[in-house]
């Protein structure tokens, strides 16, 4: 089922894929922070079918407590891989976040492994000067242990961290971007993750990661305007 958060005839439609297996706040925050005339959510792990791409101008693949290698125990991951392939084939702008970053790269032939270390704090990253990162400072929040160790075919590195060379990627031809960090993680929802969140030397005051979502929405808008 879709949850429509706002509608304006003729505006852009962005679909947020919620991958929370047992509930969570992340995808809801993505939807809340995304500028858009019609933002929809679809929970994949608990959905009975695949979401429609009809009239969709952009797709965000959100994070998950599952790993891309959990496919045998999480059959929804197999369906979502096919869904991602469809999004890519139709050249719909696509943003992968954390699990989404890993899934998109794996779909394109990349490799994802468990690093053996859980990172739940603010880190410093080096981000390329591309439209997706306009106004995004180099301090971003992460919550993960899995990392991309080999990007997918056609994906180029646009962001690195001291522990991961493939921290953010984009496709050299198609409108595909992926980030390991969580642009939707803000101080407002940090209390919900008090048991897992660790403080670091950085402060949220130095982070403008949410701009990533605004910039992606703008990319969708520009692409829609060109196609019209």
Mean pLDDT across 127-155: 98
Q: Distances from the Cα of 122 to the Cαs of 49, 92, 125, 186, in angstroms?
A: 36, 30, 10, 11
| pLDDT of 163 strictly over 80 | yes
Strand 139-150 relative to strand 111-127, pairing: antiparallel
What's residue 226's pLDDT?
64
What's residue 227's pLDDT?
58
Per-residue pLDDT band at 63 (split at 50, 70, 90):
very high
Q: Give the CATH number of the domain where residue 110 resides.
A: 3.40.50.880
When divided into structural domains, the chain yields a total of 1
Paired strand residues for 200: none
| Tokens coding 54 | 């009809």
- Residue of 196 and 126 predicted with greater confidence: 126
Look-up of token digits 């490799």: 111
Which 3-state string (H, E, C) describes the chain?
A: CCEECCCCCCCCEEEEEECCCCCCCHHHHHHHHCCCCEEEEEECCCCCCCCCCCCCCEEEECCCCCCHHHCCCCCHHHHHHHHHHHHHHCCCCEEEECHHHHHHHHHCCCEEEEEEEEEEEEEEEEECCCHHHCCCCCEEEEEEEEEEEECCCCEEEEEEECCEEEEEEEECCCCEEEECCCCCCCCCCHHHHCCCCCCCCCCHHHCCCCHHHHHHHHHHHHHHHHHC
Give the best-scoring range by mean pLDDT among 35-44, 131-140, 194-203.
Answer: 131-140
Largest Cα span, the chain: 48
- This prediction has a pTM of 0.93
Distance between CA atoms of 186 and 190, rounded to whole angstroms? 6
| pLDDT of 1 strictly over 70 | no
Task: Tell me which residue range forms the domain holding 223.
Answer: 3-227
Q: Distances from the Cα of 215 to the Cαs of 78, 131, 205, 211, in angstroms?
A: 29, 7, 20, 6
What's residue 49's pLDDT?
87
pLDDT in tens, 9-40: 448 999 999 999 887 778 899 999 998 779 99
| Tokens coding 216 | 């992606």
């Amino acid at each position: 089922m879709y949850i429509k958060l706002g509608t304006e005839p003729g505006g852009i439609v962005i679909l947020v894929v919620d991958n929370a297996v047992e509930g969570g706040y992340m995808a809801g925050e993505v939807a809340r922070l995304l500028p858009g005339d019609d933002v929809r959510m679809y929970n994949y792990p608990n959905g009975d079918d695949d979401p429609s791409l009809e009239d969709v101008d952009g797709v965000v693949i959100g994070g998950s407590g599952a790993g891309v290698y959990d496919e045998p125990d999480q059959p929804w991951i197999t369906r979502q891989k096919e869904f991602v392939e469809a999004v890519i084939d139709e050249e719909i702008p696509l943003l992968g976040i954390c699990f989404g970053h890993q899934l998109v790269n794996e779909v394109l032939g990349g490799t994802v492994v468990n690093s053996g270390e859980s990172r739940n704090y603010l880190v410093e990253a080096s981000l390329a000067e591309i439209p997706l990162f306009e106004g995004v400072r180099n301090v971003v929040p992460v919550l993960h242990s899995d990392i991309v160790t080999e990007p997918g075919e056609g994906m180029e590195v646009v962001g690195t961290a001291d522990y991961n060379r493939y921290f953010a990627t984009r496709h050299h031809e198609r409108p595909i971007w992926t980030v390991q960090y969580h642009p939707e993680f803000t101080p407002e929802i940090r209390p919900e993750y008090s048991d897992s969140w660790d403080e670091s030397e950085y402060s949220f005051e130095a982070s403008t990661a949410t701009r990533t979502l605004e910039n992606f929405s703008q990319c969708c808008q520009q692409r829609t305007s060109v196609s019209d």
